[in-house]
Amino acid sequence: DILLETLEKINIKSHILFFDNWSKLYTVKDIVLRHQKIVDALKSKDIQFVENVIKEHYNETGMKIALKI
């Protein structure tokens, strides 16, 4: 429950902060593929794998944003 609550808070904040720039960072296909990786990780029920996939997800976006600034 804590993980899901934290992810929801991060998700809301990231959408507020970067909404205008999503299309500059990712194509629609990229977005679908990136989120499918998270869904697949969640389905695996492997907590460490889920954590790694989510960290990778946010780190990749952070790096893209940092390079654009």
DSSP letter (8 states) at residue 53: H
pTM passes above 0.85: no
- Given a contact cutoff of 8 angstroms between Cβ atoms, the answer to whether 41 and 50 are in contact is yes
Q: Is the pLDDT of residue 69 over 70?
A: no
pLDDT value of residue 68: 72
pLDDT, one tens digit per residue, over 1-56 is 787 788 788 777 777 666 677 777 888 899 899 999 999 999 999 999 999 999 99
Residue 21 near residue 65 (C-beta atoms within 8 A): yes
pLDDT of residue 12: 79
The per-residue pLDDT for 49 is 97
Instruction: List, in order, residues 6 or more apart from 21 with CB less than 8 Å away.
Output: 65, 68
| Nearest C-alpha neighbor of 6 from the set 49, 50, 69 | 50
